[in-house]
Structure 1
Amino acid sequence: MSGSYALLVLVEIGLAVATAVGLLFITAPYGRHGRVGWGPTVPARVGWLVMEAPASLLFLGVYLAGERRAELVPLILLGLWQLHYVQRSFVYPFLLRGGARMPLSIMAMAIAFNVLNAYLNAKWISSLGDYPVGWLTDPRFLLGAPVFLAGLSVNLWADRKLRGLRAAGGGYRIPRGGLYRWVSCPNYLGEIVEWFGWALATWSPAGLAFALYTTANLAPRAVSNHRWYHDRFPDYPPQRRALIPFLV
């Protein structure tokens, strides 16, 4: 691993720390927390599409430039990554409802992060990492890949549940059933689990940095969403936690 690559990994970990600290004091102004004062805005659908696309397309480009691009295990890891990001980049934006908008500044910061993160992870699995066919029977892959898929499934299910509530009309409502019995944001919990599964399956510094950043970004937002639900709905289930059942 070159010094420049290691430095970029450390930059991403530093961004995770800075994000966690910043989000303790400021709630990112998009979605239900959207508000004025953050400069020009774009339609949320456009924002999500533009800011998430590099995570799929740039990743693919960097991957195809790697000398291990035709090997079986890297191809499987490529498939796992794209399973998440093709949906997030090119399906999810078109499932959004309403006329919500997103600050251009939020979109720009997300693009910058996704460029860095896609490069680091694609470079590792297609060039720097060593994944012989035997990796498919390694305990790290055997545990990490199912954890990734389980987290992805929870994330997709929880997002679909929220969209169903909005489609039923009447604005925001209390989601119920499944993991919503125990936490306010199973979609965020699923995504955090997903990327820790990726970190384990790839056993890579880039994967770990991404899992840490995902936690730093989504855990504070889960707390903010949990607080928002309690403020908006007096009958919100008191036993429900923000992110981790029975704990947080």
Structure 2
Amino acid sequence: MVSSTLLRFIYPPPESVFLTAMSMVSIVSLVIAGLMEISGSSMMHYSKIFNTSKKNVKSKMIEFSGRNGMLLAYFPAFVAAVAALALMQNQGLRFTLLTSAVAVHFFKRLFEVLFIHKYSGSMPLDTVIIISGSYFLFAVSVIYSQHLAAEFKEPIIDLKHAGTATFLVGITGNFYHHYLLSKLRKEGEKQYKIPQGGLFHLVICPHYLFEITGFIGISCISQTVYALSFTFGSSAYLTGRSYATRKWYLSKFKDFPKDIKALIPFVF
């Protein structure tokens, strides 16, 4: 049962087997994925960490270029959010803010794939399917959860405006640090470098820190159990991934500053 104190901040969980299952799946699967990142056994076969540690492994799976793989990963979730905005009107300000935030989140990702990120590797089909399916289910679930929440009374403590501001801070900071990463290598260069600028002098993954901030903003806009569950799970996964990223930089660069943390300045 959700305590009365918690119900001051979130809607009661709807009687939906689908959303109950998705909330549990989000927490369990993402926490496990984060632990696997820490142990160095990630199932997500992409990024410099995987490509370096698994470079001698030949895959028989169909592969996409990094750019095409990520486009396929993000596009279904973006379409789901835009469709909800177009087809589910008059659902109230909170629903509009939540659905708009999800649409903007995935639009930004698609924009970065097309115009910001530089890719040197490939993505196997199974990784594309897992990422695409996960994000699509997130978009559908968080929007559906918000739709069902309309039958309940609003939480006593309204966080949607604070959540909108938090989301904007998160998505802006994430985009800025992705832009800095994209400028590390000039055209034709393939060697990796230690990131500079922004918060990179404090943590090696400020883009993950701001991504978590963005998801916290979405949770505050939504104030539903599912959104909170996904944010918790995503935070656990990105924490594990940031730990693995810092470990990779320490192994590849002898001059990597030891005082640069993984995710949280001065702490972790």
Same fold per superposition (TM over 0.5): yes
Once the two structures are superposed, the pairs formed by residues 72-111 of structure 1 within 5 Å of their partners are 72-89=93-110, 91-94=111-114, 95-111=116-132
TM, length-normalised to structure 1: 0.87
Instruction: Rate the CA distance shift 1:222–1:37 in 2: closer, same or farther, 3 A.
Output: farther
Where does residue 25 of structure 2 map in the other structure? 11
Where does residue 187 of structure 1 map in the other structure? 207
Where does residue 5 of structure 2 map in the other structure? none
User: Is it true that 1:149 corresponds to 2:168 in the alignment?
Assistant: yes
TM, length-normalised to structure 2: 0.81
Gaps of 5+ in 1: none
1:41 to 42, 60, 63: 63
Q: How far is the alpha carbon of 1:80 from its aligned partner? A: 1.7
Q: How far is the alpha carbon of 1:112 from its aligned partner? A: 1.9
Specify the SS of the correspondent of 1:179: coil
User: CA RMSD of the aligned region, Å?
Assistant: 2.5
Identity of aligned residues (%): 23
Alpha-carbon distance in structure 2 between the residues aligned to 1:231 and 1:93: 28
Specify the SS of the correspondent of 2:64: strand
Q: How far is the alpha carbon of 1:209 from its aligned partner? A: 1.8
Contact 1:60/1:122 (8 A) holds in 2: no
Higher relative contact order (CA 8 A, sep 6+): 2
Contact 1:219/1:243 (8 A) holds in 2: yes
Instruction: Rate the CA distance shift 1:131–1:80 in 2: closer, same or farther, 3 A.
Output: farther
Paired residues in the alignment total 243
User: Is it true that 1:216 corresponds to 2:229 in the alignment?
Assistant: no
The CA deviation string for residues 42-67 of structure 1, in whole angstroms up to 9 with x for no partner, is 1011110001112211233345554x
Q: Match of 2:97, as an amino acid? A: I
Where does residue 6 of structure 2 map in the other structure? none
Alpha-carbon distance in structure 2 between the residues aligned to 1:11 and 1:230: 33
Instruction: Rate the CA distance shift 1:69–1:9 in 2: closer, same or farther, 3 A.
Output: farther
Specify the SS of the correspondent of 2:200: helix
